[in-house]
Structure 1
Amino acid sequence: MECISLLGNQGPLTPVWVPDETHEAIRDLVRAREVANDGLRKARQHLQSFLLRHGRIYAGRAPWTRVHSRWLAIQSFEHPAQNIVLAEYIQAIEDAAVRLDRLTKQVAEAMASWSMGPVVEAYQAMRGVALITAVTFVVEIGDVRRFDSAPQLMAYLGLVPSESSTGDRVRRGGITKAGNVRARRVLIEGAWTYRFPARVSREIEARLDGLPRSVREIAWKAQIRLCARYRKLVMAGKTKTVAVTAIAREMAAFLWAIGQEVAPAKTA
């Protein structure tokens, strides 16, 4: 991948990042997995809607667990056609889950030979940034070193407040939502994990193994700050969604900092 600077009549224009063929291929794979994930979600919605229409409501704690699967297995209807519908919906969910799992494994395997693999691993030091979140961020944004500063990256992601100013009056609104939708979405999803107190879980501890000390320190600093900031924003009267969006914005800044510490691997 490379950045190309264009020259115009008014001087140098904004550099344009051009992904290489491998980057585009990995991005296609990640987006295919996203489609599979959407397919699983829709298949589950179809089954839930069917059961709800017939008054079959699962009373358990969480759906799509082993207990929920056993509950689905004992459901039956008087008319044979409805039993066929139930079986088809369940089969559709199982097929979608197999496809999603297959593509997830393909994404994980592709990281071993990809130049951006070390960057993906480093990003996973962050809380709320597991493999899929990290690789999605990388395939959509590329090398964050192309941004001169963290605020520039946050603006590119559309996570900064919009502004409507007239004269001396400055009015700020919601986030601009400019830039890449997928990268912004995964950051906001990951930001929800900062609702809980800072701690290094076993999963995160395993992901920290082998990473540079500087990356581990940035990730822990992010946990301390963002967990406290979420509580502060909520206590100040901000809605949870507004607080989470603010956390996602700062997550981008910490990812930018990690991206300065770990360079992509050199390719032959």
Structure 2
Amino acid sequence: MKITTVGIDLAKNVFQVHGIDERGKVVLKKQLRRDQVAAFFVNLPPCLVGMEACGGAHHWARKLQGMGHAVRLMAPQFVKPYVKTNKNDAADAEAICEAVARPNMRFVPVKNVEQQAVLALHRVRQGFVRARTAQANQIRGLLAEFGLIIPQGIGYIATRVPELIEDGANELPGVFRLLVQRLLDHLKDLDRQVDELEAKIQAWHRGNDLSRKLAQVPGIGPITASALVASIGDAKNFDSGRQVAAWLGLVPKQNSSGGKTNLLGMSKRGDTYLRTLLIHGARSVIYRVSQKADACNWISAVVNRRNKNVAAVALANKNARIVWALLAHGRQFDEGYVRKAVMA
């Protein structure tokens, strides 16, 4: 009665465990408190352990791997079809145990501590950027209530608003002037926080060979390169560059049936943050190309044939494939690289 496969439904305090033997017979159904999980698995013979890729999953995956278990993480949407009855912890653990044993299941690579730390910098910086934008919009909206219009662009907040506060001709109440000054101070503090976190990301980028390699690709800077390296990890987990592009949601969504192929807009699956960075980087490349009067290349052809938005997504898709090739094959970026034909 050896346990070969275990599914764990992760939680904050109470974990549900479901185990089967080599014949698929259920031999384990158990609830474990958080402080009991490590002691339980350290005494369990090495087996296949499945978990959903959710909060704390990478921590537990590393911990169980250190005990000799083979751990596989899965996206929750791939586990959902295996839930047979109403949703509860026992049914979820059983579904995870069933899904992890499927031969065609797609798994999420387990991230190490350094990757998680770098991605934490990116997530916190992104939060501060959103808060800074919201604060700037709030200042602009409050001043608009008094008939004072600030031009679009966050840079105008720092240059125009102090002048309006000091101008006595605009009849702003003293309490409101102090309030706007407080909001300006908060905006400056958010801006400082963003700069400090960006400096930390830049420092990590300069010390990482893979990140510096990706930054050589047009449209990929230190922020994008470091986020890609930390998120992808081992590029050999993907079979091709197209899988990376699909993982980022940069490939067309399909609605095909009866042998008729119907391609729609991009799927927008996967990591929104990485997809946004790649598309914004592609827009900067398109802008630079448009400034050259004699530009005649692939990007210009796509822009002329379709439009700049389609060209930006197409270039982001291309860059995602280039990133996979550089990481998976250990190559250096060559702008003039031409793929050699495979001999039959």
Q: Structure 2 length as normaliser, TM-score?
A: 0.59
Matched, 1:54 2:167: no
Match in the other structure for 1:72: 161
Q: How far 1:63 moved relative to its partner? A: 4.6
Q: Describe the shift of the 1:146–1:241 C-alpha distance in structure 2 as closer, same or farther (beyond 3 A).
A: same
Q: How far 1:5 moved relative to its partner? A: 8.2
8 Å contact 1:119–1:262 — kept in the other structure?
no
Matched, 1:84 2:178: yes
Match in the other structure for 1:188: 279
Q: Supply the AA of the counterpart residue of 2:308.
A: K
Q: Secondary structure of the equivalent of 1:18?
A: coil
Q: How far 1:11 moved relative to its partner? A: 3.9
Q: Describe the shift of the 1:79–1:234 C-alpha distance in structure 2 as closer, same or farther (beyond 3 A).
A: same
User: Identity of aligned pairs, percent?
Assistant: 22
Q: How far 1:35 moved relative to its partner? A: 1.1
Instruction: Select between 151-160 and 12-21 the one with higher mean Cα deviation.
Output: 12-21
Q: How far 1:75 moved relative to its partner? A: 0.5
Matched, 1:255 2:337: no
More contact order relative to length (CA 8 Å, sep ≥ 6): 1
What are the superposed Cα offsets for residues 18-63 of structure 1, whole Å, 9 maximum, x if unpaired? 111222122212211111121212111111222233332346x965
CA distance in 1, matches of 2:150, 2:106: 54
What is the aligned length? 230
CA distance in 2, matches of 1:62, 1:255: 32
Q: Which has the larger radius of gyration?
A: 2
Q: Secondary structure of the equivalent of 2:270?
A: coil
8 Å contact 1:140–1:180 — kept in the other structure?
no
Match in the other structure for 2:196: 102
Q: Describe the shift of the 1:232–1:262 C-alpha distance in structure 2 as closer, same or farther (beyond 3 A).
A: closer
Q: Describe the shift of the 1:96–1:8 C-alpha distance in structure 2 as closer, same or farther (beyond 3 A).
A: closer
Match in the other structure for 2:55: none
Q: Describe the shift of the 1:28–1:177 C-alpha distance in structure 2 as closer, same or farther (beyond 3 A).
A: same
Q: Describe the shift of the 1:62–1:40 C-alpha distance in structure 2 as closer, same or farther (beyond 3 A).
A: closer
Match in the other structure for 2:249: 158
Greater share of residues in helix: 1
CA distance in 2, matches of 1:9, 1:62: 52
Match in the other structure for 1:37: 129
8 Å contact 1:136–1:183 — kept in the other structure?
yes
8 Å contact 1:5–1:15 — kept in the other structure?
no
Q: Supply the AA of the counterpart residue of 1:240.
A: K
Of the three residues 207, 222, 228, the one matched with 2:297 is 228
Q: How far 1:197 moved relative to its partner? A: 4.5
Written as runs of structure 1 = structure 2, the 5 A alignment for 1:71-220 is: 71-76=160-165, 77-111=171-205, 117-198=208-289
CA distance in 2, matches of 1:23, 1:242: 31
Q: How far 1:145 moved relative to its partner? A: 3.0
Q: Secondary structure of the equivalent of 2:189?
A: helix
Q: Secondary structure of the equivalent of 1:196?
A: helix
8 Å contact 1:140–1:182 — kept in the other structure?
no
Q: Structure 1 length as normaliser, TM-score?
A: 0.74
Of the three residues 19, 32, 55, the one matched with 2:111 is 19
CA distance in 1, matches of 2:256, 2:204: 47
8 Å contact 1:141–1:183 — kept in the other structure?
no
What are the superposed Cα offsets for residues 187-231 of structure 1, whole Å, 9 maximum, x if unpaired? 1111101223459xxxxxxxxxxxxxxxxxxxxxxxxx9x83332
Q: Supply the AA of the counterpart residue of 2:324.
A: W
Q: Supply the AA of the counterpart residue of 2:149.
A: I
CA distance in 1, matches of 2:307, 2:285: 14
